[in-house]
Structures are given as structure tokens and as C-alpha cells.
Amino acid sequence: MRNREFELFLIGYIIVSICEIFTVGGFPLERKVRLGFTAVHLGAIVATLWVLFLNSVVGFQLVDDGTSISLGLILVSGIAFFVGTGYIALDTAFSYTSTFTSSLTGNNRNIALYVLYQLWPLICLVGFFLLETVLVLNVLGEKKPMLYLLGAALLFAIGQIFQYVISTHICQGTSGKIDGAMFETLFTLLSVVMLWVFWSSITEDDWPMPVSVENDEYVQDISDDEVEAHQVTRGAGGGSRAAGQGIRGGGWEVTRTWENVVEGADGTISSTVEGLLEAGKRKR
């Protein structure tokens, strides 16, 4: 996996952050302009969290990650949520039709926006964390990435507490100069950073070095840990660590120590890393 799907989530988050500058940043904008930015803001939030949820689904390899099909499905469905939510928000703000006119009076209850903006993103977030927990613990069998995932969840929760609980008290205490939106934005940013660290920890692996086209063999890069252990790994096959296969788990591999020797095509004996690699190339 090369994080392409996760990059779509980051693009969505950038759009959300830009919109927040004009919706909650206190910029003196004309009313209609602010309403337009608000509609884009809501649509971007819904679409971005949907994309995040789909990233957790991709990890189970229902569709090969990084392919045109995977990226296309995520992008198209995300755009659909963005357009749908944005239209409802714009129709509510400017009354293009009479569908949401009732929400402009009384308690301003807009069931459609409530479901899309409040409930649906929460469902996507819970689904993402549950699926990633299953992926990391049951499929990958690792525990360290869970620290990053829990850290992201904690930071996001703190941001929401500032937004929905502490914001009123901050606003009253500062006579309306600031509210909890600033802290919510900060902790959400830290949560996204932690998510990136988490995602990188379960998707990055050593890059294969192709040496033969006929049988898709490769000689894997030698990491510092392997050099210290005096090991060279040679194997074939591939896969995604997020799918629980990994480069090491997806194909066959043979681990040779430096004490093992390889006889080259010219009859020489080599026991060094360079010699092992060179001998393998000559034999092919």
C-alpha cells in the first residue's frame, strides 16, 4: 500500500481547514458568502470522514489498494456525499425550494443536516476505529500501532470536548473574543497527524528491488537491523502489510546468514552481502 487512499483523506482535511478559516475564524464576510463557505464546510466534513472510513475498509483488501478502481470508488462516493450535503445546506440557507423552509423558524430543526453533519460522521469515525482495531490486533498481530490509533482518538475527543462543552465557558470568560473552536481545530490537527503516523506504521515496508521479470523475483533492500544481524533476505511475492500479508508474509523467503556461502557462476565463493547479490544476478 502506498498511502494513496489516505492522501485523499488528507486533501479533504485541507479543504475543511480552509473553510474553517472563513466559517469559524471570525473573518468579516458578507452574509451570503459566509453561508456559501458554511455549505462547503459541511459537505467537506461529511465527505472527508466517509473517505476515512473507506480507508479502513481498503485495509482488508476487498479491492486492491492503490488501484484505479479503489481510488475511483472512494473519490466518486466522496464527491457524492460532498455534493449532496452541500446542496441541502445551500437550499436551507438560500431557500431554493420550500423543502427546508420550516427549519428556518422555531427551533431551526433540520433533520437532514443533523443526520449528515452530526450522526453520519460519528458513525464513520466509530466504524474506522473499530475496523482498524480488528485489522491491527487480529490480522497484523501488532500492538504498537494501537498506541498511535488510541492517541488519535484521544486528541480528537479532546477537541470535541472543547467544541461542545468548554466553548461556552471560554466565550463567556473572554467576553466573546475567543471560543472553543480554536482549540478544537488545534487538537483535530494533532489527531490527523497521529493518524498519519498510525497509517504509515501499518503500511510502510521495505521496497523490493526487481532483478528478474520472468518469475517476479526480487532481492529485498537490506535494512540497518538486518545488517546488524548479519542477515540478507531474498524472496518473491508481495502484498500489503495492512492486509496482514506483508512482503515477508505474502511470498516465500529464505534468510541466509553471512556464515553461509554462495558459489558464483565463475566458481568463486562469496560470503559478503555484495557477493550474495552479485552471485544471484549472475545465476539469473
Per-residue pLDDT tens digits for 49-65? 999 999 999 888 888 88
Domain C-terminal end among 181, 203, 225: 203
Give CA–CA dist 37/23, Å, rounded. 6
Does one domain contain both 83 and 152? yes
Does one domain contain both 92 and 154? yes
| Beta-carbon contacts of residue 133 (< 8 Å; ≥ 6 apart) | 146, 149
| Cβ(34)–Cβ(89) below 8 Å | no
| Cβ(211)–Cβ(284) below 8 Å | yes
Does one domain contain both 152 and 215? no
Does one domain contain both 184 and 218? no
How many distinct structural domains can be found in the chain?
2
Domain C-terminal end among 175, 203, 231: 203
Does one domain contain both 159 and 251? no
Range of the domain at 124: 4-203
- Over its length of 284 residues, how does the chain's per-residue pLDDT go in tens digits? 457 889 999 999 999 999 998 988 777 789 999 999 999 999 999 999 999 999 999 888 888 888 899 999 999 999 999 999 999 999 999 989 988 888 888 888 899 999 999 999 999 999 999 999 999 999 888 999 999 999 999 999 999 999 999 998 998 888 888 888 889 999 999 999 999 999 988 886 543 444 444 444 444 555 555 545 544 443 333 444 444 444 334 433 333 443 444 444 455 444 454 554 555 544 44
Specify the pTM: 0.70
Domain C-terminal end among 148, 174, 203: 203
Does one domain contain both 96 and 229? no
Does one domain contain both 232 and 198? no
Does one domain contain both 126 and 224? no
Give CA–CA dist 212/219, Å, rounded. 9
